Structure 1
């Protein structure tokens, strides 16, 4: 796995990195017409939803980005992408994703952002990029890992 490490002092730095990744994704969209899957891993309050908000807004969403903690998924139709933001913290069994029609979320030109992806193991698509967010006192340490060729291409452009 190819990785890149970032030390981010505050929330604006986290949002800036999310925006940078979104811009890299936008720049490569014309040749990539498949699902892009990004896993977000970290403790409660580490910044997974904040990162997702920055990423989704940088892709062009103008409104609020709601946490999908209680709904499991919030979807955003953008000009070039359909973004599905999953928060699987409250998921009791990965099979619940099958019951909610997970396959309907996997069309081309789709981005899956999955918080707590381990709770959907075996049902969620494998990640192109895995983002681990850890506390570093009052700051955050992010490790972006590329797990596919497409993920490596995106990380190489960061």
Structure 2
């Protein structure tokens, strides 16, 4: 947000990519932070205690989709063993692209060179920016458990076990 002069002096938060604002707790013992959000569409993605990388590798994945003003979103996952150097050069990584438009989410496996990726599963999907509660939610051609929070305009697809080594398609209507 280079044209927003209110951001020029902000040095305690940053954008990860062009869509995710990170405002970390920087003082030991602090339980809240103050953040500046430029005039745009923002969602509260994660306000919880941290987890370690080692512990998180044992969990299913959760996908968060924050729809923009045109109801689109996109992103990617780069996954390797977390230790080996030059996994890109050795092609020992997995790259998955995610796309969302209106009421559909899909994934495309771009590279599947990391052996551990065959066991990766998507356990949940949260979609922010869904204006109305859907009547039907489907993932990979199967009806799925879902919930909806009107105030947050958030649709949650729950209790999924979608293999991430294969294309994923979810839709709601």
Fold match, TM over 0.5? no
Q: TM-score, normalised by structure 1?
A: 0.25
Normalising by structure 2, report the TM-score: 0.23
Q: Which has the higher helix share?
A: 1
Please identify the structure whose Cα radius of gyration is greater.
Answer: 2
